[in-house]
């Protein structure tokens, strides 16, 4: 029976609860991930009597959490993207400053190196000028080696960061997994939603999206499944937890940490599928900026080393000996995949710059006993060919796959996994046991150990030159400033048929030509074989690419920050606590509570009035 | 729209942070004076700056090269002038001695003076630059002399020997064919093919700084010398001394050969002067080119300070405004009124 007393006491109870909910909101105004709650006050069923329906008062039916799934999903998605670009931006800015700062960068050291050559070519017999050139090459060398060690550190830093992020992801997955279970238990024991537990889970999911891009799938029974890689890879599914693993890539000597996941019992590399969160940011930075910058810088350095050496081979030093190596020539080898079953570990697959290995002429440095080609013309032809091959350098890493059927190696781009194509569009292959020039570099497979079908190897010639870049010429008198002798012994008007011989002591032809390498277009030939960049231009190209990456990332970051702000605003607008609103509610509920109390008092007064009347 | 208390807070902080990072960016550009400090500031601009800086630095190098070449040529010019002065003196003496009013004793005395002149001129022709390189030996700069004793032809009657340039077979053991070439080119401008050949004949971008002695001091049409002897001006003087030592009148051929030699050397001087002018012209052209390049570089790379200060003040005002609004908004609360 809904009499006045019941109505009054129910109402006061209801408003007390409402005030409690209000207080809870006020208390959590600063709690991250909190959604405001509201006491749903409903009127009780009315009773019919003669005069009509008489209301039965009010009570709190449930405590509602003001929350929208779609907004929360948007928040998770935009948070992951935002964190990715934020991470990319921080890391790339750090590298940008090192490899491509406007002042005192590589380009200045290169310029000074070539200026010293000009200086020496003015006055080729002076010892001071010779020493200056060696000093400047030393400066260039030490600047490059600083750069290389910083880039190597950055490489290791990204490895560490990937490991740390994966650890955090796994911890966060544990948390969600545990809350999932608690939510399920809470829901099965009652029909009321465990609001604050749900908030904590949403918070945990959002925190997870800071590290990696995820998609939550909310299940009927209150569980949330978490998938990554655009929904393709399940992390939490049907209460099964699959953790990520950070470990060395399949090429152990590469020292490169990749993200793996156990998919149907097999450990699979998933680094390429992760596009969001801090992890996505680090991976993208490493692939599209760090590796690329190193490879492009490497192409420039390989260009400097090869062109300087080859021009130097053309000349003669003060003692009348042919020019030796100026810089240490590139000499590197391949690294094997741990899944390889053959005996070859990659060290017998050698990569170097040797453009004329097929030529019958003696190859440089033209020092005894191999000595000079028969004629100056033959020597020039080999030299021109070397410059042509320099134009073929391409900034990439090679993956070589052995095919037992054809007994050859197929060339792939290690970064993209795409085949490396020749001019006709066919994939480049080299027969095992042979050697060949591929994109300007000689790949030598002559001394390979036993191989099995499918064995793969990688080689990074353009990254390796960063570590190998070194001046080898020490004696200033050994700088080959003199060119070919201008004497035309048979007076036929051409020097090409002459036996290679040194010009007079004070000749500067070779040094002038070395200095001119700075202005000569040598790198990045088009299909017609015309080089498009000078050596300094090759460096500029790298720094422009670095700049475009950073500025592109910055634009994305700003856009994503705006998106995130907008989503956050919408969530705040819907679910955030407004203290003024709570203050108003507090007043309202307090007044209602006081009024309900008054009802009880009135009922009691009425009762005593009645009692007093009866007493007479 | 419903507004939550956190939104006030977030918006305030976001605004302050945005203004602060803007101010930081302007601060960096203002303090370095550069609009482009790293490639991402303007990737395309950075590329242009690299190219401009490279070109400017090349022009600077060419200017330095030109200065060096000029000093080298200046030295050569002075030395040739000294030889010209000596030859003129010898020519005057020749013409005097051709006069019948001098007796053999006078001629012998003059022969002694010519002997001094010969030594003087031989010295100049074998002179070296401060780097101890022979000036007139082509690229054979390191040998002991450019003009040595002729060991092939017989000595003259007074016992002295003719002189031979080291590029002539008359130099005997000192003979080196390479001395007849010798063209050290110094780059003073942009070269189209960036290439020097061993027997380069010259190139607008490069200037020759060495000459071989045969080209400078030879008198190709000399008639006073016996066949087989190097036809250089020194040998004409040696020949003259021989006549005088014997007390004979020098034949008119000698005087005319001296005239030819003077003409030839003046020609060489003019040619050297031409080279110096070319250097100067290149340098002037380079400097004005450099100025316009530098102006472009500064437009691309450098910060417009006025604009920078204006931007800075604007952002500073915005930041102060945001801070004030933040503190005001934070004071707004209904709780303040319901006590």
CA–CA separation, A502 and A96 (whole Å): 46
**Chain B closest-CA separation from residue A336 CA (Å):** 36
Is any Cβ of chain B less than 8 angstroms from the Cβ of A506? yes
Using the structure block, give the residue that is written with the tokens 């190139």. B203
Distance CA A97, CA A598 (A): 74
The answer to whether the Cβ–Cβ distance between A29 and B6 falls below 8 Å is yes
| Separation of alpha carbons A538 and A528, rounded Å | 19
Number of other CB atoms surrounding residue B280 within 10 Å: 13
pLDDT of A476-503, one tens digit each?
999 999 999 888 888 888 888 888 988 8
Segment B77-89 mean pLDDT: 94
Residue of B nearest to A534 (CA): B51
What residue in A sits closest to B142 (Cα-Cα)?
A505
Neighbours of B186 (CB within 10 A): 26
Nearest C-alpha in B relative to A376: B198
Q: Which of A536, A579, A587 sits opposite B50 (nearest CB)?
A: A536
A150, A294 Cβ separation under 8 angstroms: no
* pLDDT mean over B301-325: 92
Query: Cα B68 to chain center, whole Å?
Result: 4
What residues of chain B lie within 8 A of the CB of A29, using their CB? Answer: 5-6
Selected for mutation to probe chain A from B28, B40, B57, B200 (highest A CB count within 10 Å) is B40
In CATH terms, the fold of domain B58-182+210-296 is f41 fragment of flagellin, N-terminal domain (1.20.1330)
Sign of CA dihedral B300, B303, B306, B312: positive
Instruction: Give me the pLDDT at residue B331, please.
Output: 84
Residue to test with chain A: of B39, B65, B67, B134, most A Cβ within 10 A? B39
Query: What pLDDT, on a 0 to 100 scale, did the predictor assign at position A205?
Result: 94
> What helix, strand, coil percent values describe chain B, rounded to 5?
65, 5, 30
| Cis peptide, bond prior to residue A369, ω within 30 of zero | yes
Q: Nearest CA to CA, how far is B1 from chain A (Å)?
A: 7
Reported as type and span, the H/E element at residue B193 is: none
For the segment B253-269, what is each residue's pLDDT rounded down to a tens digit? 999 999 999 999 999 99
Count the residues in chain B: 339
- Between CA B325 and CA A481 the distance in angstroms is 72
Residue A505: closest C-alpha in chain B? B140
Q: Which two tokens stand for residue A205?
A: 């999911």
| Residue contact B334–A102, C-beta within 8 A | no
**Between these two residues, B171 and B183, which has the higher pLDDT value?**
B171
Q: With beta carbons under 8 A apart, name residues in chain B contacting A487.
A: 177-178, 181
Best probe of the A interface among B199, B279, B337, by most A CBs < 10 A, is: B199
pLDDT band at B147 (very low <50, low <70, confident <90, very high): very high
pLDDT one-digit tens code per residue, B55-65: 998 899 999 99
Contact B137, B216 (CB under 8 A): no
**What pLDDT sits at residue A1?**
41
- Extract the tokens encoding A417: 């996994």
Name the A residues in 27-66 with CB < 8 Å from any B CB. 29-30, 36
- CB–CB of B179 and A504 under 8 A? yes
Q: What digits encode the pLDDT tens for the residues A275-289?
A: 999 999 999 999 999
Residue B314 parent element (H or E): helix B305-331
pLDDT surpasses 90 at B92: yes
The pair phi, psi for residue A336, each rounded to 5°, is -95, 160
Give me the residue from B7, B176, B338 closest to A576, CB to CB. B7
Q: Rounded mean pLDDT of chain A?
A: 91
Is residue A431 over pLDDT 90?
yes
Q: Mean pLDDT, chain B, as a whole number?
A: 89
Instruction: Tell me the longest C-alpha to C-alpha distance in chain A.
Output: 156
Q: How far apart are CA A23 and CA A582, in angstroms?
A: 8
Average pLDDT over residues B134-156: 89
Name the A residues in 83-142 with CB < 8 Å from any B CB: 93, 96-97, 100-102, 107, 111, 115, 118-119, 121-126
Chain A partners within 8 Å of B46 (Cβ):
100, 102, 540, 543-544, 547
Question: Is pLDDT at B203 greater than 80 in this prediction?
Answer: no
Chain B residues with CB under 8 Å of A520 CB are: 194
Do the chains contact at A124 and B184, CB–CB below 8 Å?
yes
pLDDT of residue A104 exceeding 70, the answer is no
Question: For B30-63, what is each residue's pLDDT tens digit?
Answer: 888 888 888 888 888 888 888 898 899 889 999 9
Q: How far apart, in Å, are the Cα atoms of A390 and each of A302, A443, A524, A528?
A: 8, 15, 8, 14
* Dist CA B287 CA B59 (whole Å): 8
Q: Which residues of A touch B303 (CB under 8 A)?
A: none
Cα–Cα distance, B273 to B263 (Å, whole number): 15
Distance of CA A206 to the CA centre of its chain: 22
Q: Are strands A398-403 and A408-413 parallel, antiparallel or unpaired?
A: antiparallel
Which of A35, A120, A506 best tests the B interface by mutation, with the highest count of B CBs <10 A? A506
Name the phi and psi angles at A429, rounded to 5. Answer: -135, 150
Q: Which residue of B has its CA nearest to A122?
A: B186
How many other CB atoms sit within 10 Å of the CB of residue B176?
A: 17
Residue positions counted in chain A: 616
What per-residue confidence (pLDDT) applies to A2?
Answer: 54
Token pair recorded at residue A527: 């299909």
Interface test with B, best of A547, A549, A582 (most B CBs within 10 A): A547
Of A249, A499, A288, A253, nearest to A395 (Cα)? A288
Q: Which of B4, B8, B136, B141 is most worth mutating to test chain A (most A CB atoms within 10 A of its CB)? A: B4
Q: How far does A504 lie from chain B, in Å, by closest CA?
A: 5
Question: Cβ contact (<8 Å) for B38 and A100?
Answer: yes
B51 Rama class: left (phi>0) / alpha (psi -120 to 50) / beta: alpha
Shortest distance, CA A410 to any CA of chain B (angstroms): 36
The confidence band for B182, taking pLDDT boundaries of 50, 70 and 90, is: low
Q: Is the separation of the CB atoms in A20 and A29 below 8 Å?
A: no
Q: Which of B182, B194, B210 sits opposite A519 (nearest CB)?
A: B194
Question: In angstroms, what CA-CA distances link A536 with A276, A440, A524, B54, B287?
Answer: 36, 19, 12, 8, 22
Q: Determine the Cα–Cα distance for residues A512 and A122; give it in Å rounded to an integer.
A: 8
Q: Tokens standing for B175?
A: 């003979």
Burial of A277 (0-12, 13-18, 19+ CB in 10 A): buried
Residues of B in contact with A107 (CB under 8 A): 50, 53-54
Give the burial string for A391-405 (b: 16+ CB within 10 Å, else e): bbbbbbbbbbbbeee
Residue B202 has pLDDT above 80, yes or no: no
Q: Which residues contact A254 (CB under 8 A, 6 or more apart)?
A: A248, A335, A458
Report d(CA A568, CA A581) in Å as an integer.
Answer: 19
| Chain A residue with Cα closest to B181 | A486
Residue A103 C-alpha, separation from nearest chain B C-alpha, in angstroms: 8
In whole angstroms, what is the distance from residue A336 CA to residue A342 CA?
10
Give A-chain residues touching B174 at CB under 8 angstroms. none
Whole-number CA gyration radius for chain B: 38
* 3-state DSSP assignment of residue A58: strand
Chain A residue numbers with beta carbons less than 8 Å from the beta carbon of B199 are 486, 488, 495
At A567 the three-state DSSP class reads: helix
8 Å CB contact of A573 and B4: yes
For chain A positions 468-487, those within 8 Å of chain B (CB to CB) are 483-487
Q: CB–CB of B250/B243 below 8 Å?
A: yes
Closest by CA position to A515, among listed A163, A113, A215:
A113
CA distance B49 to A449: 51
3-state secondary structure of A299: helix
What residues of chain B lie within 8 A of the CB of A101, using their CB? 37-38
Contact (CB<8Å) A512/B7: no
Facing residue for B54 by CB, picked from A536, A544, A550: A536
Q: d(Cα A597, Cα B138) in Å, to the nearest integer?
A: 120
| Burial (0-12, 13-18, 19+ Cβ within 10 Å), A450 | exposed
Residue among A442, A434, A403 at smallest CA distance from A419:
A403
Q: How confident is the model at residue A616 (pLDDT cuts 50, 70, 90)?
A: low
Of B131, B184, B209, the CB nearest to A126: B131
3-state SS, residue A164: helix
Q: What is the pTM of this model?
A: 0.86
Distance of CA A190 to the CA centre of its chain: 47
Q: Which residue of B has its CA nearest to A545?
A: B43
Measured in angstroms, the CA of B115 and the nearest CA of chain A are apart by 32
Q: Is A148 helix (H, G, I), strand (E, B) or coil?
A: helix
Beta carbons of A488 and B199 less than 8 Å apart: yes
Of A537, A539, A573, the CB nearest to B7: A573
**B285 to chain A nearest CA, in Å?**
19
pLDDT band at A446 (very low <50, low <70, confident <90, very high): very high
**Is B37 in contact with A101 (Cβ distance < 8 A)?**
yes
pLDDT band at A102 (very low <50, low <70, confident <90, very high): low
């Amino acid at each position: 029976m809904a009499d006045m007393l019941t109505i009054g006491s129910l109402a006061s109870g209801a408003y007390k609860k409402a005030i409690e909910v209000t207080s809870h909101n006020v208390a959590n105004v600063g709690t991250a991930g909190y959604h405001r709650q509201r006491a749903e006050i409903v009127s009780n069923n009315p009773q019919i009597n003669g005069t009509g329906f008489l209301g039965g008062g009010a009570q709190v039916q449930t405590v509602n959490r003001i929350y929208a799934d779609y907004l929360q999903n948007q928040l998770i998605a935009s948070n992951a993207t935002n964190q990715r670009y934020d991470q990319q931006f921080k890391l790339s800015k750090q590298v940008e400053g090192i490899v491509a700062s406007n002042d005192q960068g590589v380009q200045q050291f290169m310029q000074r190196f070539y200026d010293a050559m000009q200086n020496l070519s003015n006055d080729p017999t002076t010892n001071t000028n010779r020493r200056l050139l060696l000093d400047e090459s030393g400066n260039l060398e030490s600047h490059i080696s600083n750069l290389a060690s910083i880039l190597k550190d950055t490489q290791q830093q990204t490895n560490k960061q990937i490991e740390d992020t994966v650890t955090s992801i796994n911890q966060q997955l544990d948390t969600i997994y545990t809350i999932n279970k608690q939510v399920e238990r809470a829901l099965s024991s009652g029909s009321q939603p465990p609001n604050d537990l749900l908030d904590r889970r949403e918070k945990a999911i959002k925190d997870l999206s800071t590290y990696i891009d995820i998609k939550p799938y909310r299940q009927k029974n209150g569980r949330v499944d978490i998938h990554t890689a655009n929904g393709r890879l399940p992390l939490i599914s049907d209460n099964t937890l699959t953790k990520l693993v950070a470990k060395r890539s399949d090429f152990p000597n590469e020292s490169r940490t990749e993200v793996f996941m156990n998919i149907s019992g097999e450990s699979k590399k998933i680094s390429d599928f992760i596009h969001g969160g801090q992890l996505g940011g680090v991976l993208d930075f490493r692939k599209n900026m760090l590796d690329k910058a190193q490879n492009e810088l490497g192409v420039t350095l390989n260009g400097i080393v090869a062109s300087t050496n080859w021009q130097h081979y053309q000349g003669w030093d003060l003692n009348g000996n042919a020019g030796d190596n100026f810089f240490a020539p590139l000499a590197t080898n391949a690294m094997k995949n741990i899944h390889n079953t053959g005996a070859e570990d990659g060290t017998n697959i050698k990569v170097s710059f040797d453009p004329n290995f097929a030529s019958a002429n003696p190859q440089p440095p033209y020092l005894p006993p191999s000595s000079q080609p028969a004629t100056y013309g033959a020597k020039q032809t080999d030299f021109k060919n070397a410059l042509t091959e320099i134009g073929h350098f391409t900034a990439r890493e090679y993956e070589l796959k052995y095919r037992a059927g054809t007994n050859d190696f197929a060339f792939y781009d290690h970064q993209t996994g795409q085949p490396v194509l020749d001019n006709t569009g066919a994939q480049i292959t080299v027969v095992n046991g042979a050697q060949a020039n591929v994109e300007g570099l000689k790949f030598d497979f002559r001394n390979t150990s036993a191989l099995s079908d499918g064995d793969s190897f990688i080689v990074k010639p353009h990254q390796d030159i960063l570590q190998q870049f070194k001046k080898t010429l020490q004696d200033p008198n050994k700088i080959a400033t003199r060119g070919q002798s201008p004497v035309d012994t048979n007076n036929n008007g051409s020097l090409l048929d002459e036996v290679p011989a040194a010009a007079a002591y004070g000749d500067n032809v070779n040094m002038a030509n070395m200095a001119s390498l700075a202005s000569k277009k040598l790198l990045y030939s088009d299909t017609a074989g015309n080089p498009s960049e000078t050596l300094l231009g090759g460096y500029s190209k790298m720094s422009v690419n670095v700049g475009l990456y950073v500025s592109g990332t910055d634009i994305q970051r700003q856009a994503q920050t705006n998106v995130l702000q907008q989503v956050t605003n919408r969530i705040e607008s819907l679910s955030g606590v407004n203290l003024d609103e709570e203050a108003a509610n507090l007043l309202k509920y307090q007044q209602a509570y006081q009024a309900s109390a008054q009802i009880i008092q009135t009922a009691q007064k009425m009762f005593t009035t009645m009692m007093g009347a009866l007493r007479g | 729209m419903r507004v939550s208390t956190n939104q006030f807070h977030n918006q305030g902080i976001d605004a302050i942070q945005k203004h602060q990072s803007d101010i930081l960016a302007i601060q960096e550009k203002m303090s370095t004076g550069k609009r482009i400090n790293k490639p991402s500031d303007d990737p395309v601009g950075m590329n242009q700056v690299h190219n401009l800086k490279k070109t400017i630095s090349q022009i600077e190098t060419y200017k330095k090269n030109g200065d060096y070449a000029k000093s080298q040529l200046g030295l050569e010019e002075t030395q040739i002038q000294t030889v010209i002065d000596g030859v003129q003196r010898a020519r005057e003496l020749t013409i005097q001695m051709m006069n019948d009013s001098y007796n053999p004793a006078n001629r012998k005395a003059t022969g002694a003076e010519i002997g001094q002149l010969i030594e003087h001129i031989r010295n100049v022709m074998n002179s070296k630059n401060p780097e101890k390189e022979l000036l007139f030996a082509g690229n054979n700069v390191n040998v002991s002399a450019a003009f040595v004793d002729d060991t092939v032809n017989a000595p003259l009657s007074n016992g002295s020997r003719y002189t031979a340039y080291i590029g002539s077979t008359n130099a005997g053991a000192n003979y080196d064919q390479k001395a007849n070439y010798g063209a050290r080119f110094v780059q003073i401008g942009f070269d189209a093919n960036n290439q020097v050949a061993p027997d380069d004949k010259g190139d607008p971008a490069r200037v020759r700084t060495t000459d071989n002695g045969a080209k400078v001091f030879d008198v190709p049409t000399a008639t006073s010398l016996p066949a087989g002897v190097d036809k250089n001006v020194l040998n004409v003087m040696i020949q003259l001394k021989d006549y005088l030592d014997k007390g004979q009148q020098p034949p008119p051929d000698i005087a005319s050969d001296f005239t030819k030699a003077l003409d030839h050397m003046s020609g060489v001087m003019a040619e050297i002067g031409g080279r110096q002018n070319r250097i100067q012209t290149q340098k002037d052209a380079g400097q004005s080119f450099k100025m316009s390049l530098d102006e472009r570089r500064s437009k691309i790379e450098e910060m417009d300070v006025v604009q920078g200060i204006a931007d800075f003040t604007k952002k500073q005002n915005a930041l102060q405004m945001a801070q004030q609004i933040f503190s005001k908004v934070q004071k707004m609360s209904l709780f303040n009124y319901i006590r």
